[in-house]
């Protein structure tokens, strides 16, 4: 029995010294001290010995168990220290290593263009108002002179949330909300996201628009022309020609599309301007008397104009971009150019 105990201790010491992790130590503890371990097996074998040999053999096995328990405790502390040291070494900061360049974020090109456009209108005396993107049908259509059965509603490819709730198709509802709560004179621009069920190289289901309007006594079409021509000249250059074409919008009368000389070919004709030398930049007109009736303004006393310009359209012309979808693909090669 003493030889078995001596060999068991010798094997245990070698095994514990070789253990390099807490898991290996736990496996060894179970191997030697567990319910089915080698020390337990020796204790159970004492019954096979002669009675006079059992006390000495039992003492030897118990001393062996105590030594192995001490081995477990000592080696566990050592392994824990070693593992902590390795962890510290792995996480150590080497200040002699070269730094890693971190790219700085910057404004999206559409956001940049919108800020620049708003700055121009601020210089022309306009204030900013905003409104909800999920809008009531009343503000998006009805109060803007779109009756329920009006064919002009077909001009808008609308996302309906409910029968009377939509994702706004323009920022013009802010015009109604502002006039309901404020009295003239007003000179307002309202930037924001708008939504239409359309998607191709020149249309996106979500895009950005700046709506603007001015209401006061004696506001004329010449004021509209003066403001919009000044905006285009400030943003695209004084040499860019501007023209107004008759058009139709339910909430303005008379209405006009505004074209500017093509900045790609400078009027010579190209794919962007369809070889006409002109590109459409925005829609505008004098506010319809019916719109004033909805907000309680006296159309005999007040007049006004309104306009709407798409920021993606302005950005595409400003930067020479031919596909609106590039703005929303998050391609860093594209975005880093701005």
Task: Indicate the residue among 42, 62, 91 that finishes a domain.
Answer: 91
- CA dist., res. 181 & res. 165, Å (int): 21
Query: Does residue 100 lie in a domain region?
Result: no
Residues 206 and 261 in one domain: yes
Q: What pLDDT tens digit does each residue of the chain (338 aa) get? A: 777 778 888 888 888 888 878 888 888 888 888 888 888 787 788 778 788 877 887 788 788 888 888 888 888 888 888 888 888 888 777 778 787 888 777 889 999 999 999 999 999 999 999 999 999 999 999 999 987 777 666 666 788 898 889 999 999 999 999 999 999 999 999 999 999 877 665 567 889 999 999 999 999 999 999 999 999 999 999 999 999 999 999 999 999 999 999 888 887 888 778 888 898 999 999 999 999 999 999 999 999 999 999 999 899 889 888 787 888 888 888 888 88
Residues 169 and 125 in one domain: yes
Residues 85 and 125 in one domain: no
> What's the whole-model pTM score?
0.67
Task: Indicate the residue among 45, 62, 91 that finishes a domain.
Answer: 91
Residues 113 and 258 in one domain: yes
Residues 187 and 219 in one domain: yes
């Amino acid at each position: 029995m003493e030889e078995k105990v001596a060999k068991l201790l010798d094997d245990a010491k070698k095994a514990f010294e070789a253990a390099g992790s807490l898991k290996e130590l736990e496996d060894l503890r179970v191997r030697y001290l567990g319910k089915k371990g080698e020390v337990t097996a020796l204790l159970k074998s004492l019954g096979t010995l002669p009675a006079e040999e059992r006390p000495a053999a039992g003492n030897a096995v118990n001393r062996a168990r105590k030594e192995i328990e001490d081995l477990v405790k000592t080696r566990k502390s050592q392994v824990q220290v070693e593992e902590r040291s390795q962890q510290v070494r792995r996480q150590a900061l080497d200040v002699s290593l070269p730094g890693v360049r971190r790219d700085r974020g910057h404004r999206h090109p559409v956001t940049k263009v919108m800020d620049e456009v708003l700055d121009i209108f601020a210089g022309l005396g306009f204030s900013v108002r905003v409104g909800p993107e999920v809008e009531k049908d009343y503000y998006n259509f009805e109060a803007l002179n779109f009756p329920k059965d009006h064919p002009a509603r077909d001009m808008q490819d609308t996302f309906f949330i409910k029968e009377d709730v939509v994702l706004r198709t323009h920022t013009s509802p802010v015009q109604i909300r502002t006039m309901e709560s404020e009295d003239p004179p007003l000179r307002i621009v309202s930037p924001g996201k708008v939504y239409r069920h359309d998607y191709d190289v020149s249309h996106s289901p979500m895009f950005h628009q700046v709506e603007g309007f001015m209401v006061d006594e004696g506001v004329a079409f010449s004021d509209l022309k003066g403001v919009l021509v000044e905006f285009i000249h400030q943003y695209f250059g004084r040499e860019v020609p501007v023209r107004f074409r008759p058009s139709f919008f339910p909430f303005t009368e008379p209405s006009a599309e505004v074209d500017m000389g093509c900045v790609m070919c400078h009027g010579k004709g190209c794919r962007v301007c369809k070889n006409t030398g002109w590109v459409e930049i925005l829609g505008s007109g004098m506010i319809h008397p019916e719109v004033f009736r909805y907000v309680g303004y006296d159309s005999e006393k007040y007049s006004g104009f309104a306009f709407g310009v798409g920021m993606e359209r302005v950005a595409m012309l400003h930067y020479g971009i031919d596909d609106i979808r590039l703005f929303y693909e998050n391609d860093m090669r594209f975005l880093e150019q701005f």
